[in-house]
Structure 1
């Protein structure tokens, strides 16, 4: 299998969500994580998804990123109907999405450069994987720390590694789930400035779940979710 991702940066991906429903079982009951959500995000836009904890912000991002599968509704990213994908086509779509998590999700036994490389390891590429990983670490300000393990890095540095990993496949869509949630305010500001710069340089659409009003105010648009619904 190939995972080239070797082309130049271009415009971001456009997103259209229609009538999206996602239910989760909880004990004897059901929790609705997404309740008939419809949403359009233009290519290249930066959109904040806000709302209280448990409102459905992460669920929406997980559905668009195909980490979760919808029970009803449709998701289109450019000309791809995500909700209709399966098998290799679904795996190929997931490889084209960058995901940044609140808790970093780095592999503790791997170095920074190996964490960045990890998504590409199962695939053949037309470019030098190690060179791309090193270049991205330099781009996020971690030149010289390539061999450091996560435990040797600060929280902000770990998030920089996670951002480099999210970009290693040159995605047109970057999904960020509370990317500053585990960071102090000063470090969080650094990470947000970094995301904005990388968005512009790499030509991406950025969809970000956040509870921080100051962060949402910097976005092109804010979508507020409560109890799985856009309000």
Structure 2
């Protein structure tokens, strides 16, 4: 599948460029460790255009995952600002941050699927505190078809391959129609062929949906497929 080849058509209301614009300024994060702590991100500055794809690269411990977690409001910075679509999320209160997280899709190296739930119920799980299950079922079914899992909606994670589980995780990340998708080593637990399929899928979904995408990766071939590559070393963008 080429960079511009399309996956199964997404739902009509999801079409069109609607990615989030992200601006990071002077961002720093230090974790307690020993006497001085470990600074995972140091005075990072980064601007991401709406609908763009950005690869974060660097060795283990360089700060890639921490930067993703800060942008996604999974963690809180010690200094600096993060602005998404003109709103400074680093100045937001708890309720506003909770609402912001619902506009962000997360894909992790470990799939984090709930083993007792079917593929479809795993996809709708993030919506259940806020939306009726019945209203989300059709959307989940459409997304599973879009990631190539039509007919596997009732399969449990144990009945799916690693690549299929990651496809479920991608559908789950998209269930809230996010303007921003953050993927942390999304192919790290997959063999090379399956990993290539997953990256092709993510890039095709980016083309179809216009979602801004940031991918943390060790793989230079993945970084080469993105619009931009941002390298980190010792918490600094180099």
TM-score (norm 1): 0.94
What corresponds to 1:44 in structure 2? 51
Task: Identify which of 92, 105, 114 aligns with 2:121.
Answer: 114
What corresponds to 1:3 in structure 2? none
What corresponds to 2:225 in structure 1? 218
What corresponds to 1:183 in structure 2? 190
Equivalents in 1 of 2:135, 2:13: separation in Å?
Answer: 13
Task: Identify which of 144, 165, 173 aligns with 2:172.
Answer: 165
**1:187-226 alpha-carbon deviations (Å, 9 max, x no partner):** 0110011101111111111111001001101111100000
Q: Could you tell which deviates more after superposition, 69-78 or 21-30?
A: 21-30
**1:56-108 alpha-carbon deviations (Å, 9 max, x no partner):** 00000000000000110000011111101122211110000011000011111
> In the TM superposition, what is the alpha-carbon distance from 1:166 to its structure 2 partner?
0.2
Equivalents in 2 of 1:148, 1:8: separation in Å?
Answer: 25
- Match of 2:50, SS state, is coil
Aligned residues: 226
1:202 corresponds to 2:213: no
What corresponds to 1:80 in structure 2? 87
What corresponds to 2:139 in structure 1? 132
**1:109-135 alpha-carbon deviations (Å, 9 max, x no partner):** 11111110000000136x820110111
What corresponds to 1:227 in structure 2? 234
1:18 corresponds to 2:34: no
Task: Identify which of 100, 106, 131 aligns with 2:107.
Answer: 100
Task: Identify which of 33, 50, 70 aligns with 2:77.
Answer: 70
Q: For the aligned residues, what is the CA RMSD?
A: 1.6
Equivalents in 1 of 2:208, 2:230: separation in Å?
Answer: 25
Equivalents in 2 of 1:207, 1:149: separation in Å?
Answer: 28
- Match of 2:229, SS state, is strand
- Match of 2:76, SS state, is coil
Query: Are residues 150 and 28 of structure 1, via their aligned partners in 2, closer, same or farther at CA, if it must alter by over 3 Å?
Result: farther
Equivalents in 2 of 1:178, 1:52: separation in Å?
Answer: 12
- Match of 1:217, SS state, is helix
Equivalents in 2 of 1:45, 1:116: separation in Å?
Answer: 24
> In the TM superposition, what is the alpha-carbon distance from 1:7 to its structure 2 partner?
5.2
- Match of 1:36, SS state, is strand
